[in-house]
Amino acid sequence: MAIVRVSFGRIPYLGVFALTTDKIALLPERFHVREQLVLDALGVPVLRTSLDGSPLLGVLATGNSRALVCSDLLELMREKGLVKLGVKVLRVPGRFTAFGNIVLANDKGALANPDLPDGLLGSIGESLGVPVERGTIAGIKNVGAAGVAT
């Protein structure tokens, strides 16, 4: 696997704009990054999308090789594009929207903002197929914004 330098409009914060798992790479529609470059580096299909028109995919969604979790801001046509690629999607209605910031996940487990309700943690764990624990990183509740899980 190659290491490739990319930026989104000269913005180096890739994790804010892109979301990758072992199954897919989500890139914002509005930024000019060659899909083939990402495909060659990561070896997964690339899908251009947005969440409610926002390019902040890494902030608004989280996931692992089993599923993606995002708010119900994900338009149904975009969800269909993910499903066509074999990606299961949990669309969560309600006040929580920045799942990339509040849930840190991989294929072994997930760490979630301690303020999330029990029912939501159960849904996330079921969709991702992993146990979900509440916690903080260095006292920061938004664990997805404070850490990386591979």
**Is residue 62 helix, strand or coil?**
strand
pLDDT of residue 119: 96
CA atoms 15, 21, 25, 29: torsion sign:
negative
If 0-12 CB within 10 Å is exposed, 13-18 middle and 19+ buried, where does residue 108 land?
exposed
- How far is the CA of 30 from the CAs of 1, 17, 25, 55, 123, in angstroms? 26, 10, 15, 7, 31
Average pLDDT over residues 68-92: 89
Q: What is the pTM of this model?
A: 0.89
Nearest to 111 by CA among 90, 139, 131, 138: 131
Q: Rounded mean pLDDT of the chain?
A: 91
Highest mean pLDDT among 13-22, 28-37, 85-94, 117-126: 117-126
Segment 19-58, tens digit of pLDDT: 999 999 998 888 777 778 788 888 899 998 888 889 999 9
Q: Higher pLDDT residue, 91 or 1?
A: 91
Is 14-146 assigned to CATH 3.75.10.10?
A: yes
DSSP bridge partners of 7: none
If 0-12 CB within 10 Å is exposed, 13-18 middle and 19+ buried, where does residue 80 land?
exposed
pLDDT of residue 1: 60
